[in-house]
Amino acid sequence: MAFKPANKLEDLQQFGEFGGINPSISDSTTYTFLTAKSMQDTFEGKTEGCYLYSRHTSPSNLNLSEALAAMEGTETAQVFASGMAAISSTLLQLCNAGDHILSSRTIYGGTYAFLKHFSPKFKIETTFVDITALDRVEAAITPNTKVLYCECVSNPLLEVANIEGLARLAKKYNLKLVVDNTFSPLSMSPALLGADVVLHSLTKFINGSSDTVGGVVCSSEDFINQLKDINSGASMLLGATMDSMRAASILKNIRTLHIRMQQHSKNAMYLAEKLEANGLKTVYPGLSSHPEHKLYKSMMNTQYGFGGILTVDVGTHDKANALMELMQTNNIGYLAVSLGFYKTLFSAPGSSTSSEIPEAEQKEMGLSQGIIRFSIGLDADIERTYRIMHDCMVQLEILK
């Protein structure tokens, strides 16, 4: 692929007001107009580049949006106060009462809860499908379907979506393909594979320091303008706006994303191979045993690897809990939800981040109670980390 997302980020030149090498932080909610006429024009959406009110956008938010659009190869983007704000605003913008969404059944728990319990209040119904079976996806499309929704790499089962195949279906049936790329920034560029809208929770890898909640929608000028429309835009009217201070801090963190993703991926690959070689049921898209390994390879920007998330099934819920506690005691990482931190984070998705999904459905989709999800950290010495992890597993008789 000729497109290099990290180059696109590095090639941006965004200067501060006094020639500072970092853009100035916009510390204002409102902006003066030199003439009354230009204020009126701006409210009517006519004056390109004029700022109105910071819920609409701000210079700092535009800088961050521009960087994320460059990374994803979309025309533009809009940042939000959280990943869920980006997701819910997008879906409420695209769908009216009576419309239907076709979603992967293995998605982030919050997104699942939104589609299952919240959007039906507005008569927006969702069918959940196995996104890896394109024929089943096609069979589930109805005349009311407006949106195909998936994650590039799904949470927490790490199923990989065939973005090009889904984009072909979206085109054929005139649907919008909306892809959550939170698990695989830089590694995947779904917009270039045909997705109409690419979403991220910035809270995870992109910000990378687990100190900020944020989200982004990357898409066409046309769709982002719809979101920002002062009369009918979900971003403007639901009002989940990112704060300018946060936008500025996330922008600074993005500059090291390419190095962090490479290290997350390198460490995750090392651990996945070791754990699998020890006979543990390990799921990681970089392993050739992963059902969509070849598919991931065919879509990825190779230099960033297969990402930082892997899962291991240690059999039972009790074993999973005991192992996580012991690993935390041994400082392998933290028993915490979320991902993309410098430290390894681990949690048992069945009883935490995916607990919104009823147990029977969890079972059907293959989410066993013994699964631990790891977000592998930036450890400089992953061999040492593995040795300690191995000792913990031997102590709990998970490994011999």
Ligand X SMILES: *Cc1c(COP(=O)(O)O)cnc(C)c1O
Residue bearing tokens 């410098």: 342
Helix (H), strand (E) at residue 6? helix 5-10
* Among the residue ranges 18-26, 52-60, 128-136, 180-188, the one whose residues contact ligand X (CB under 6 A): 180-188
Residue from 100, 105, 146, 204 touching ligand X (CB under 6 A): that is 204
Residue carrying the six token digits 């201070």? 245
Give the residue with the Cβ less far from ligand X, 183 or 223.
Answer: 183
Quote the Cα angle for 326-328-333, to 5°. Answer: 135
Assess 264 for contact with ligand X (CB under 6 A): no
The correct pick among 190, 215, 305, 308 for binding ligand X (CB under 6 A) is: 215
- Return the range that interacts with ligand X (CB under 6 A); candidates 43-51, 176-184, 282-290, 313-321: 176-184
Shortest Cβ contact with ligand X: which residue?
83
Task: Give the nearest distance from C-beta 253 to ligand X in angstroms.
Answer: 14
CA distance 224 to 79: 10
- List, in order, residues 6 or more apart from 349 with CB less than 8 Å away: 109, 155, 156, 311, 367, 371, 373
DSSP conformation class of 200: E
- Angle of the 59-72 helix axis to the 244-254 helix axis, nearest 10: 30
List binders of ligand X among 56-115 (CB under 6 A).
Answer: 82-84, 108, 110-111
Nearest to ligand X of 212, 385 (CB atom) = 212
Q: Looking at 130-138, 160-168, 200-208, 284-292, which segment touches ligand X (CB under 6 A)? A: 200-208
Question: Collapsing DSSP states into helix, strand and coil, what is residue 320?
Answer: helix
Q: Does 282 bind ligand X (CB under 6 A)?
A: no
Q: Candidates 53-61, 175-183, 258-266, 344-352 — which segment interacts with ligand X by CB under 6 A?
A: 175-183
Nearer residue to ligand X within complex by CB, 56 or 373: 373
Q: Is 265 in the site for ligand X (CB under 6 A)?
A: no
Closest CB to ligand X among 51 and 334? Answer: 334
Among 5, 299, 340, smallest CA distance to 160 is for 299
Nearer to ligand X, 108 or 346 (CB): 108
- In the complex, the smallest distance separating the C-beta of residue 46 from ligand X, rounded to whole angstroms, is 33
155 binds ligand X per the rule CB under 6 A = yes
- State the minimum distance, in angstroms, from the CB of residue 213 to ligand X: 5
Task: In whole angstroms, give the CA distance from residue 67 to residue 184.
Answer: 17
Closer to ligand X at the Cβ: 246 or 290?
246
The angle formed by the CA atoms of residues 185, 124 and 225, to the nearest 5 degrees, is: 55
CB atoms within 10 A of CB 16: 11
DSSP-assigned letter for residue 157:
T
Three-class secondary structure of residue 119 per DSSP: helix
Task: Specify the DSSP class assigned to residue 232.
Answer: T
**Judged by CB, which is closer to ligand X: 110, or 305?**
110
Closest approach, Cβ 199 to ligand X, in A, equals 7
Question: Is 126 one of the binding residues for ligand X (CB under 6 A)?
Answer: no
d(CA 9, CA 38): 33
Q: How many residues bind ligand X (CB under 6 A)?
A: 16
Q: Do the beta carbons of residue 306 and residue 263 sit within 8 Å?
A: no
Report how far residue 5's alpha carbon sits from residue 71's, in angstroms, rounded to the nearest whole number. 5
Interaction site with ligand X (CB under 6 A): 82-84, 108, 110-111, 151, 155, 180, 182-183, 201, 203-204, 213, 215
